[in-house]
Amino acid sequence: MKDKHIFFNPLRMISPKLDHEVARIEELHEAPVSESVTLEEGLVIMLSKLIKMTGLLETGFVRDCPDEFGTCDQLASEVHQQEKLLTKNLLCSIDVAPELCRLIVMFPAHLERVGDSLESILNCIRIKCREQVPFDDKTIEEIREMFAETSGILTDFRDAIIAPNKFLLESVISRQASLDQKCQDWELAHVDRLLNGTASHLSSSIYLDMLESTQNLSRHAKEMAGRMLELLARQQAA
């Protein structure tokens, strides 16, 4: 009996398959910007760069390590470039049904906005390192969890692009809601720590910026997951 949670990949109406790229998924962040990649390949490559960037940002934050920043800048630049190529190719394609195009045309732009949010976090970490801004242990713990959850959401969505699965897409939406609530709770907890003197006021604006950027990027992932679920629902009904 067919598993109703597993579907034919609607993106492969445009992109045949990832072929050998799937075998080296953990290396895809190294893939160069290319106009010849299919939509599916391009989205997976962009997500891989964003996932790698998230991990580097956590390392840079925890270790006050500027060595990671140049790589993050390069990955962000490549995400911007790939978005322009994917969107142009998608709009110029005569093979994409209008109703499908309407649902997915903003996917590359959503991923670029995720990159924008990560660049905002990168700027915060640069300030932290340059000015030696102190962060209390509890805030560091929360930020590490923030990065872990962000990476998990992006990884789930990348996996759902490769092999569309209702459970994965629902996981993205559920984890986004959870992370959004955690960011709100962490902001309130930070205020309490400021008032009782266990957190430095110097870290407040940086921390709030990082939380807001995380909320913003996770909402883009949620939007795309919702669109994918809509595609799969249409496919199931067909």
Instruction: Dump pLDDT digits (tens) for 95-114.
Output: 666 667 777 889 999 999 99
50 or 234, greater pLDDT: 50
State pLDDT tens for residues 63-83: 887 788 999 999 999 999 999
C-alpha 102/C-alpha 100 separation (Å) is 5
Predicted confidence at residue 165, as pLDDT, reads 86
Map out the domains of the chain with their CATH numbers. 32-237 (1.20.58.220)
Overall size of the chain counted in residues: 238
Whole-model pTM over 0.95: no
pLDDT band at 39 (very low <50, low <70, confident <90, very high): confident
28 exposed, middle or buried (CB, 10 Å; 0-12, 13-18, 19+)?
buried
pLDDT band for 50, please (50, 70, 90 cuts). Answer: very high
**Residues whose CB falls within 8 Å of the CB of residue 27, separated by 6 or more in sequence, listed in order:** none
